[in-house]
Amino acid sequence: MALPEELIEFKLRTKIVYRVGSVEELPFELGELGAKRPVIFTDRGVIEAGILDYVKKALKESDVEIAGVFDKVRQDALVSVINEAARFIKEVEGDSIVAVGGGSVMDTAKGANVLVTGGEEDIAEHVGAELVGRPMLPHVAIPTTAGTGCEVTWGAIIKNEEEQTKTGFIEWYCVADVALLDPKVTVSLPAALTAATGVDTLTHAIEAYTSPYANPLADAMTLHAIRLVSRWLRRAVEKGDDLEARAYMQFAATVAGVGFFNTMCGAVHACAHALGGMFDVPHGVANSIMLPAVMEYNRDYVDGRYRDVAEAMGVDVRGLSAGEAADAAIAAVRQLISELGLPADLKGYGIREEDLPELAVKAMEDIQMVFNPRPPEEEEIAELFRRLL
Amino acid sequence: MSQFWKDAEELTETFSELFRRMFADPELSSKVEKLDQIVIFKYFDPDVQFWFDLRGGKNEFGTGEPPGEFKVRMTLSADDGHRSWSNKLNPVMAIARKRIKVEGNATGLLKLQPLLRKAAVVYHGVLDDMGQSEKKL
């Protein structure tokens, strides 16, 4: 190993609180933040699973009064929904946010917080980095999936329905002040969603570990996340009520989130955002389709780091050359995705050959593409998509 | 108080010469023009705003208000501008550390980061020719 000479910066703002039943800590954590009238952000699936009632029960005997419940979040953090949510916070005079849900809910909450704090009305116009730059409403996240890591990331991916694009913003203060990890709120997640969100975590970890901005601090997070996903995701999918598997997948998602937001991701995420923006391919599914293809594309540009990925996934790499170890890592990823029953191609999403140029342009315009270890050309990205049709 | 610049006039003359030479370089200009948009670098201390009109291969630049709507604006100190063109400031890390404020989608611009190595060679030539060799980092 060489002496690291470049500046390394590793950030984490969020206090992470874990236990089985940690949602019961919500009143204490809100009190610590000085919050008395939170707006709860959630979606219909979370409500139907009884998780909102579980959260409300935790607040029942406390001084906290729920200002309102915003439950209009759908797949993805939509511009129109974020704008509406910001108006809702102001209408009900909420003084804080509790986000109960997956990445779409948590990113919607971040977007609304940005608008309320920054005095803006349209999140579509908030594209960039650190445009607000000051503390926002106190914010607690209770992730109900184990995938996005949004509970610890200081940015959000938002979908512009009109332009069929996914863009994002970075705001240090939009991240949750507290993340409550409670495996009880993830046991109702269906197997297919558990699989897809789990592969999202794996993708964060692998892309971050092979990012040009990888560093020893982030490596500690991302490499361990790969180990945890490899060990626990199958079991979480097969036996949804297994709290142990659910807990370790939560840890995996959170540490991968911390890791990847300190190094960023790469072409898998850039392509997944384009697929989600234009064809509504769910993010985790898009990642699972793109991950092995992009790993092959990046194979010779990751400074031998796929060997560590293979090892973290349980492959015996002794005696393998760098190339053989890389191939073993890619094979292990394919094997896991196959066992989880996730799709291996883009068939079934209505994508045609004539859509590929626009799809490739949108992927190339995604900020994550900047961080891919192999600088991609537009036609190469189009070819990646083409092979998966 | 700027560490490198006497005043706005010196900065404007120096960076203008750099940009003229960059646009005259076939490799640099061909890659930059692919951005096909208006880009702004807003420097402060001293305050000078440069715009780049890269639409349709125009490859024009100037100071003050741009000739159309910008797609990305980066705001940074004039000293960090000097460090950046000297290839001594990583733009991605500078954004993360809030030394550069970004408005708009900076993806295309950040993809050009590898060009900073060649731009720095050009910039050093400009500093030498303009009697500012002591500024070289």
Identify whether A120 is part of a domain: yes
Q: Does B34 touch chain A (CB under 8 A)?
A: no
For the cut 90, the answer to whether the pLDDT of residue B109 exceeds it is no
For the cut 80, the answer to whether the pLDDT of residue B121 exceeds it is yes
User: Same domain, yes or no, for A173 and A246?
Assistant: no
Overall number of domains in chain B? 1
User: Same domain, yes or no, for A160 and A138?
Assistant: yes
Residues A279, A252: Cα–Cα separation, whole Å: 28
- Helix A191-209 with A267-279: angle, nearest 10 deg: 140
User: Same domain, yes or no, for A139 and A217?
Assistant: no
Boundary residue ending a domain (A185, A219, A243):
A185
User: Same domain, yes or no, for A268 and A372?
Assistant: yes
Identify whether A45 is part of a domain: yes
Identify whether A3 is part of a domain: no
Identify whether A1 is part of a domain: no
Q: Give the pairing of strands A155-160 and A165-170.
A: antiparallel
ipTM over 0.90? The verdict is: no
Boundary residue ending a domain (A123, A154, A185):
A185
Identify whether B85 is part of a domain: yes
Residue B33 lies in domain: 8-126
Please give, rounded to a whole number of angstroms, the shortest distance from the CA of B107 to a CA of chain A: 5
Identify whether B132 is part of a domain: no
For the cut 90, the answer to whether the pLDDT of residue B124 exceeds it is yes
Residue A323 in tokens: 């190339």
Nearest to B92 among A130, A213, A375 (CB): A213
Identify whether B137 is part of a domain: no
Best of B103, B109, B112 to mutate (most A CBs within 10 Å, chain A) = B103
Overall number of domains in chain A? 2
- CATH number at B60 reads 3.30.1050.10
Identify whether A344 is part of a domain: yes
For the cut 90, the answer to whether the pLDDT of residue B127 exceeds it is yes
Residues A111, A194: Cα–Cα separation, whole Å: 25
| The pLDDT value given to residue B111 | 84
Nearest to B98 among A128, A130, A366 (CB): A130
User: Same domain, yes or no, for A228 and A123?
Assistant: no
Q: Which of A15, A17, A4, A366 is nearest to A218 (CA)?
A: A4
Contacts of B93 in chain A (CB under 8 A): 6-7, 9, 213
Q: Does A163 touch chain B (CB under 8 A)?
A: no
Please give, rounded to a whole number of angstroms, the shortest distance from the CA of A96 to a CA of chain B: 25
User: Same domain, yes or no, for A205 and A162?
Assistant: no
Pairs of CB atoms within 8 A across A/B:
54
Residue A274 lies in domain: 191-387
User: Same domain, yes or no, for A203 and A350?
Assistant: yes
Identify whether A10 is part of a domain: no
- Kindly state the average pLDDT of the residues B56-81: 94
Low-confidence ranges of chain A (pLDDT < 50): none
Residues 61-120 of B with CB under 8 A from A: 90, 92-93, 95-98, 100-108, 110-111, 113-114
Residues A281, A133: Cα–Cα separation, whole Å: 33
The answer to whether the CB of A225 falls within 8 A of the CB of A256 is: yes
Identify whether B3 is part of a domain: no
| The pLDDT value given to residue A250 | 98
- CATH number at A259 reads 1.20.1090.10
